[in-house]
Structure 1
Amino acid sequence: MLNFFKKNAALVWAKKHVQKTGEFKKNSEKNQETLLLSLVKTAQKTLFGREHDFENIHSIKEFQEKVPVADYEDLKPYIERVKKGQANILWTETPEYFAKTSGTTSGSKYIPISKEGMPFQIAGAQSALFHYIAQKNNADFVNGKMIFLQGSPEMEEVFGIKTGRLSGIVAHHIPAYLQKNRLPSWKTNIMEDWEAKVDKIIEETEHENMTLISGIPPWLIMYFEKLTEKHGKKIKQLFPNLQLLVTGGVNYEPYRDKMEDLLGGKVDIIQTFPASEGFFAFQDDYTKEGLLLLTNHGIFYEFIPLEDYGKPGARRLTLKEVEINKDYALILTTNSGLWAYSIGDVVRFIDKDPYKILVSGRTKHFTSAFGEHVIAFEVEEAMKATLEKYPAQITEFHLAPQVNPAEGLPYHEWLIEFEKEPENRELFRLQLDRELRERNTYYDDLISGNILQPLHISVLKKNAFHEYAKSQGKLGGQNKTPRLANDRKIADLLEIYKL
């Protein structure tokens, strides 16, 4: 009886929620300008607001003139003051949390999450589930067991501000109606050794009625492979009621074939776009490509055309100025005190009514040793198209330039770990090169002009990327190996795994 009530209550809530979201979908452009001016007005008396003349900002144009695009290094002096417990620096109060992330040049990053910002982190995930339930007209999964895998939910305090990984922070805010069914246990969740953690999760879940599993694709694959190896069965045989996977952090498409093989049956997928800086988008229609951009969640968005990114005076476009199928660096202003902040993600719009995006790469993850500026979306689409013509199964891959080969012209090297190799590797290679040339005219020109030779493929042994990540202390959690690079730092470390 309780299960019946729970399922039907979820259906009612979901349909009401979806009806309410129609408003922001229709008025995104207007709501975005209203939101920005509201954020500016709220923060007028902060240190950042005084330094950037917030009192005299009355339009988007004035905001862009007075507030330059910033990365973490630019905001770090302000964040260091916030870390010491000072209020009224970037936002009117000290943050409720710091989401601690691993940085490169900056070391650990401390991303502020305000009391106003935290509810939107939760609301984004809830909205994704509600849209799914309403569209599917089915909420059976709420009565089964669910994994919301995250980093350790244990937190430290930095001058009274709770600090931890975003996924661990979110664990403290999972709605009560989902808490009883949630796995793994607290004791398992706080484990730091990722391989041991996955083994323990398997122990806790292998005989349960799992209906929803959430995690980034590399983690899901690792979990599913270990389950399959242990039991000799496909995942849908082990969990016949598994209805839904919720994933995010990377593009799901390159993992789809391998995931479907491991699952061995139909499971619905919802893709999301969360980050420490905010919850930006989710797949509101699980049957179609594209993530609905959340324009009413305390975040004002700007978009810099990727070809302009990093240049002085780069154009900063608003929603109404973006074009379909162009790549943009994503810039955020949030109700947690981030101002014109470059998050490092690249997005591509595929619809403007409502606004829907794909995450097409990272501003720092590209290959352009010869001026080609190949991005993740292009290599992933090229790989997907090639696999359709020459079936194979890919575990993971990495693209790097080979500028000084032992002989011949330079080339792009694709280091690929196959689960199942194509029947003809040479035809596969040539097709992959053709597909990339079709998607990137600069690369095509370099091949046609005999500046580059067609790409090379280096096959890596099984578990190469797993072993590489482990050797770098980046196994598990939200860690993922970049699909491409503009140097050979990763490629050189992968050399030892070549067949």
Structure 2
Amino acid sequence: MNSAESWTDPDRLRRYRERVLGERRRLADALAHAADHQQRVLAELLEYNAGTGYGRAHSFGSIRTLDDFRKAVPINDYAALAPWIERMAAGESNVLSADDPAVYFTSSGTTGAHKKIPVTPSFMRRTFFPFYYAAWAPLIEHHPDVLARPDAVLNLKHDPVSAPPTTASGHPHVGASQVDFGARFGETLSAEPGTGAPWGTLPVSVERDDHLEKTYLRLRLAVQSDVRCVIGINPAMVAALPYQLALWWPRIVKEIRDGTLGGLPHTRPAPERAAELERLAERFGTVRPAHVWPHMRALFCWTTGMASLYLPRLREEFGVGVAALPAPVAASEGPVGVALDRHGSAGSLVVTASAYEFLDADEDVRPDAPTLTYRELEPGRDYHVVFSHIGGLYRYAVGDVVRVVDHVEGVPRLEYAGRSTRSDAAGERLRDSQVLRALATAAGGTGLDVRNAACRFERPKGAAPHYTFAVAARGPWSTPETDRFAALLDTAIGREGPAYRAARRAGRLGPARVRRLDGEAFLRDWHTSVASGIRPTQVKDRLFRQDIAQWERLTGAPGAARG
């Protein structure tokens, strides 16, 4: 169901809207009975998987309550479940789940190793699809013209592969965006907006890992369409798009004029459109998405994390009044929250999908750590997420931290706050979310415009250990402005992180330092990563960067300046 013809079928569009809005309505209705749904999800996964190897080893058949479940099953991370998953990937049945995985999602862990996330038909049916369809509801309800034509949406994450890598048992091991849910799971309405566009399946041959050329070819085709919406999920992909337009502009215009795609004959030459595009660049001195696509309506991506710093300015690149709609709070392993209205960052807990537990984000995630239920969460607090679902992940610590914004029907609305990994070289125990909030405070207190940032713990000779922040700035910063930003940042980190404040007072840490980079430094670095063969969906904003080669690549970019 990824063909352009399918998206032009009025009956298909009607049924798609009904499914999306219907799933959103059912999830919203479930909030009023959240406790019942949580108990049902737990009972169902225990009964369904009681006869599996994992279920027998942990006495699923005798568990009746969440307290029983906590006593019988430790909190797991991927490493803890990896031996079980590898048995499944090798072809063994009835290991973690009663039904065999149909595919394995790939996901980059904190070490960079590719996980194998088992995806079973029961997981897709009970956990994934209701949330997946509902996630599109705010977009199609409030911006219905994005479905008016197959090429009205530029879906940056859509990346089908004809010959996917497989596990030892022969099952595909791919990213979620590379799976045809219609063919694999019989969900004929599951094709995402934009997948039926002319660039949904590239008409020219490209090496599988040449992701940068794939990105160029899709953009080259999209420039000739009236795009209304950009879907990225990963906001770094959306942030890269204006840079790519400028970078590839001469090549794009030439290919439109010549009617080529990747240097090969493609369509009839369009010298009129090429001339129009050249006039736009001459008139404005540069070219922006708003110039190429004047009817742009919405961006669909994560709006929190590092994106919360650069998204307001990024939206201006796409046009006045362009909406930024939050992608769901989710991982390859399963959903957590989905926006059921037009809230700019948060989504309601998907109470029908998994049995959820939480830990205070300042606590360590241990196998025996005490957990909280959704009813015990407080607004303005950060929490680790632990979930269990029918697909075979039990008390699984997904590695994400969420922040509670408020409650609807007694159920928390959550926004993604960052990864749960800490930087802790001197007892400072810093998390993504703490530093991101401090960066926002420093930017707000100085009026300076931060486009992206990363940091590294350093132990220089003859000076106290400290954090150095590489900050991409929009426009020049004077030395006094940079010094003021660094001072405010250091104070704000201490306010967010008591352990950092204690380390500073004890002299184990010196004050934070700031290294100014030019505004395109992180975009160049993103392109370098993609050019190395990493899929764009997996090249995300990363705050803590201890790899010295990657740090030097970022901060040594042409135009870098020291503060």
- The residue aligned with 1:236 is 290
Q: CA RMSD in A?
A: 3.0
> Quick one: which of 395, 400, 403 aligns to 2:456?
400
Q: Residue 161 of structure 1: SS of its match in structure 2?
A: coil
Distance 1:257 1:453 in 2: 32
Q: Name the counterpart of 1:446.
A: 503
Report the Cα distance in structure 1 between the residues aligned to 2:549 and 2:34, rounded to whole angstroms: 42
2: CA distance, partners of 1:87 / 1:268 = 46
Matched with 2:202 is: 187
Given the alignment of the two structures, is residue 147 of structure 1 paired with residue 154 of structure 2, yes or no? yes
| Helix, strand or coil at the partner of 2:330 | strand
Partner of 1:212: 229
TM-superposed deviation, 1:62: 0.8
SS of aligned partner of 2:224: coil
Structure-2-length-normalised TM-score: 0.79
Matched, 1:412 2:467: yes
Equivalent pair of 1:153/1:164 in contact (CA under 8 Å): no
Match of 2:34 among 28, 33, 36: 28
Mapped pair 1:200 → 2:217: yes
Amino acid at match of 1:225: Y
> Pick from 350, 368, 385: which aligns with 1:313?
368
Amino acid at match of 1:184: W
| Aligned-partner residue type, residue 73 of structure 1 | A
Aligned-pair CA distance for 1:475: 6.3
Q: Distance in 2 between matches of 1:482 and 1:184?
A: 29
Q: CA deviation at 1:90?
A: 0.5
Superposed CA offset, 1:445-492 (max 9, x none): 333454433210012355433454526654622222421257867545
**Contact map agreement 1:198 1:223 (CA 8 A) in 2:** no
Which of residues 242, 248, 264 is equivalent to 1:224? Answer: 242
Give the letter aligned to residue 25 of structure 1: L
* Distance 1:234-1:433 versus aligned 2 partners, 3 A rule: same
Partner of 2:258: none
Instruction: Give the 3 Å change call, closer, same or farther, for CA 166–15 of structure 1 in structure 2.
Output: closer
Cα distance change, pair 82–19 in 1 and its aligned pair in 2 (3 A): closer
Residue 448 to residue 105, structure 1, CA distance change in 2 (3 Å): closer
Tell me how far apart the structure 2 counterparts of residues 171 and 226 of structure 1 sit (CA, whole Å).
30
Structure with larger RCO (C-alpha < 8 A, sep 6+)? 2
For 2:229 and 2:341, the matched residues in 1 are separated by 17
Equivalent residue number for residue 284 of structure 1: 340
Q: Deviations over 1:265-289 (max 9, x none)?
A: 2211221223211232223333443
Q: 1:246 aligns with which of 300, 303, 314?
A: 300
Change (3 A) 1:171 1:382: farther
Structure 2 residue ranges without an equivalent (≥5)? 1-7, 250-280
- In the superposition, relative to structure 1, how do residues 197 and 249 fare at CA in structure 2: closer, same or farther (>3 Å)? farther
For residues 156 and 238 of structure 1, the distance between their equivalents in structure 2, rounded to whole angstroms, comes to 36
**Partners of 1:97 and 1:163 within 8 A in 2:** yes
Match of 2:539 in 1: 479
- Alpha-carbon contact 2:360-2:382 (below 8 Å) kept: yes
Residue in 1 that maps onto 2:484: 427
Q: Percent identity?
A: 20
Residues 138 and 340 in structure 2, CA contact (< 8 A), matched pair in contact too: yes
1:31-430 equivalences under 5 Å are: 31-103=37-109, 107-119=113-125, 120-134=127-141, 136=142, 138-144=143-149, 145-150=152-157, 152-154=159-161, 155-158=164-167, 159-169=169-179, 175=190, 178=193, 181-182=196-197, 184-187=199-202, 191-215=208-232, 216-228=234-246, 230=249, 231=281, 232-248=286-302, 251=305, 252-272=307-327, 273-297=329-353, 299-311=354-366, 313-353=368-408, 354-364=411-421, 366-402=422-458, 404-423=459-478, 424-430=481-487
Letter aligned with residue 411 of structure 1? H
Q: 1:473 to 1:373 in 2, by over 3 A?
A: farther
**Which segments of 5 or more consecutive residues in structure 1 lack a partner in the other structure?**
none
Q: How big is the shift at 1:387?
A: 2.2
Secondary structure in structure 1 of the residue aligned to 2:397: strand
Instruction: Compute the displacement of 1:305 (Å).
Output: 2.1
Paired letter, 1:433 = D
The amino acid of 1:222's aligned partner reads A
Change (3 A) 1:180 1:371: closer
CA contact (8 A) 1:147 1:183 kept: no
**Number of positions where the alignment pairs a residue of Structure 1 with one of Structure 2:** 493
1:247 offset after TM fit, Å? 0.9
Question: Partners in 1 of 2:57 and 2:348 — Cα distance?
Answer: 35
3-state SS of paired residue (1:210): coil
User: What letter corresponds to residue 434 of structure 2 in structure 1?
Assistant: E
Q: Structure 1 residues 438 and 139, CA, compared in 2 at 3 Å: closer, same or farther?
A: same
* Contact 1:124 1:279 (C-alpha < 8 Å) held by counterparts: yes
Q: Residues of 1 paired with 2:540 and 2:112: CA distance? A: 19
Q: How far did 1:157 drift?
A: 3.9
Say which SS state the counterpart of residue 177 (structure 2) adopts: helix
User: Residue 76 and residue 288 in structure 1: after superposition, are their counterparts in 2 closer, same or farther (change >3 A)?
Assistant: closer
